[in-house]
Amino acid sequence: MPGLRELPALLILDVQKGFDDPHWGERNNLQAEENIARLLNEWRNRNGPIIYTKHLSVDPASPLHHRNQLGTEFKEIIKPLVSEVVFTKNVNSGFIGTELESYLKQKQVKSVVITGLSTQHCVSTTTRMSGNLGFNTFLVSDAIAAFGITDQNGVYHHPDSIQALELAMLHKEFATVVTTDEILGQLLSQ
């Protein structure tokens, strides 16, 4: 992992209670939220930039529908402080329909560390856009989680397979894929 010259912004994407709904199906990496909390604690201790996104779906069937107050709430383990920035969105990318890009540029943030839910939706889309917009992007492989999906041919794909393929496609093209321990180890060695 390349050395971090300055503390990147920590992006926490859509860690909301609605993702615990059975609607999503089988999930991998049940430790994702704990790893996000470890990173969050370190960022808070260092007074680093912390940014959340909250997904407010326009689909009434979604557990993240904007009228489902419980589903749209952040999980307690990573609940934002009043001083931390939250951007709401209703599409997969944290950059579309929000002020995220302009906020990062205004704060002169050059690097971001991406965590959150879910890998094949908002995490992948936001990571791709972050890289395309020129941010030095780190994606934390054990601080994200995927859900199983059935493809257009009726074939089920296990969440571990979805996660592995997404990470393979994003690494070196849009982001540097790292682990929580790698990020924390790098920070502690500074």
Per-residue pLDDT reduced to its tens digit, 27-84: 999 999 999 999 999 999 999 999 999 999 999 999 999 888 889 999 999 999 999 9
- Residue 1 in domain: no
Q: How far apart are CA 67 and CA 59, in angstroms?
A: 10
Which residue from 125, 163, 172 is spatially nearest to 143, judged by alpha carbons?
A: 163
Domain that holds residue 79: 9-188
- Residue 62 in domain: yes
Q: How far apart are CA 165 and CA 138, in angstroms?
A: 17
Instruction: Check residue 188 and give its pLDDT.
Output: 84
- Residue 4 in domain: no
- As for how many domains the chain has, the answer is 1
- Residue 36 in domain: yes
pTM across the whole model? 0.96
E strands, the chain, in order: 9-13, 50-55, 85-89, 111-117, 136-145, 149-150, 156-157, 176-178
CATH code of the domain containing 118: 3.40.50.850
